[in-house]
Structure 1
């Protein structure tokens, strides 16, 4: 009987630690900022894509730039 209690207590402790690690903190340090179209953020991506992967990647870039971004490429 004592063994079963120890196992149950250990399982409860493990479960509480796992669930506690998945929670969110109350004091979030995330800042909300607005993007400035006059001062765009430059993102440089180094990749190894070629062929079909490169075509798909460029298509995603074009879709993004057509909706919310401005395309400025430097190579």
Structure 2
């Protein structure tokens, strides 16, 4: 039988911090989507900021309920 130490509070704190970090990242992505939708940020710049392609940005925005302006310059897609 193997006995190991288990610090429940450290485990719980780690899980909470992971959740906070994930929330911050999701908030950042939603802010970028919002800026692209409003036309304040170009899709190509947003995609570079997120480290994804413009096609992935467009897909992610659509899944999250955002839309690109009809005249948005999609850079590499055109």
Structure number, greater radius of gyration: 1
Select the structure with the greater relative contact order (CA < 8 A; seq sep ≥ 6): 2
With the length of structure 2 as denominator, give the TM-score of the two structures: 0.36
The structure in which a higher percent of residues are helix is 2
With the length of structure 1 as denominator, give the TM-score of the two structures: 0.38
